Amino acid sequence: MKKFINDPYDVVDEMVEGFQQVHRRYVRKLDTARVLVRADAPVKNKVGIVSGGGSGHKGAFIGFIGQGMLDAVAVGEIFTSPPPLACFEAAKAVNGGKGVLFLLGNYAGDVMNFQLAADMAKVDGIPVEQAISTDDVASAPKQEGSRRRGVVGSFLGWKAGGAKADEGGSLQECKAAVEKVNGNTRTIGVAISPCTVPAKGTPTFTLAENEMEYGVGHHGEPGTAKIKMMTADAVTEKMVMEVIGDLPFTAGDEVALMINGLGGTPHIELYICYRKARQILDAKGIKIGL
């Protein structure tokens, strides 16, 4: 394992310290837990928008703290859910009097810990609602959509909830905005190499030189199949066709197209894939609004 780190067990704390120092005008760290919040939090008479999860997906989650987005993020270890206390402290820090909305991916640890935090917040007199993202089409059949994982589609929910909160929306209105976006969002992932969690020191899975993992989860969860390496155009077409067929998306629809490398894919490659995805959508009469 070759990484620019010190002690593998200090990676997240040192990353958070550096991030906060770079962005000190915009975010601050709580003394009570590993939580980053907007520098001006809590914002009076605004719903607080809180997310969080395991580290290792930069820019998510902490890169999206700010006006019209997240008010706070509870930061977990690499690929590990943040503890309930951190989620609770995040809620307290951003409660401006209109309640707090937890936005989380559909992972057992996140769901459990944020629910415990919600219970703690309610005891403390803070109204809390939750919205769970379920965008990954590879993780469960369409008829079992509630079992699907939340991956990069979560970002669109953060934006919808954050924007509605900044407009002065109620807690229920913010939740409804996020759930509407989630209901219309579909994603799928692919990996050409495994990642290595610093504290573990070994790859999360193995692939032959000529293989890719299709439908992989963003922690390295097994996908739907190991397939032979494909060109950027070929794998992009395979992914786009699966995504648009799931909702389905049809001619005349207006969509937001996001190609996301989860912090691990060079922008050169992402732009090549975006180019092909746009060609496919243009040919099908699906307009890209964003």
* Coil, strand or helix at 88: helix
The two three-digit tokens of residue 236, written as one number: 């992009």
Measured in residues, the chain has a length of 290
Q: Which amino acid is at 279?
A: Q
Cβ atoms of 213 and 205 within 8 Å: the answer is: yes
Q: Which entry of 23, 218, 219, 267 is annotated as an active-site residue? A: 219
Residue type, 3: K
218 is catalytic: no
Calculate the alpha carbon distances from 114 to 43, 61, 84, 232 in Å.
22, 15, 6, 38
Report the distance separating Cα 176 and Cα 188, nearest Å. 24
Dihedral over alpha carbons 228, 231, 236, 241 (to 10 degrees): -60
Concatenated DSSP letters for 160-190? Answer: HHHHHHHTT--HHHHHHHHHHHHHT--B--E
57: annotated active-site residue? yes
- Can you list the pairs that 56-59 forms with residues at least 24 positions away whose Cβ atoms lie under 8 Å? 56/195, 56/197, 56/219, 56/263, 57/218, 57/262, 57/263, 58/263, 59/263
Ramachandran bin of 23, using left for φ above 0, alpha for ψ from -120 to 50, beta for the remaining angles: alpha
Question: Letter for the amino acid at 135?
Answer: D
d(CA 119, CA 84): 10
Closest CA to 41 of 12, 13, 73, 9: 73
Q: Which active-site residues does the annotation give?
A: 57, 219
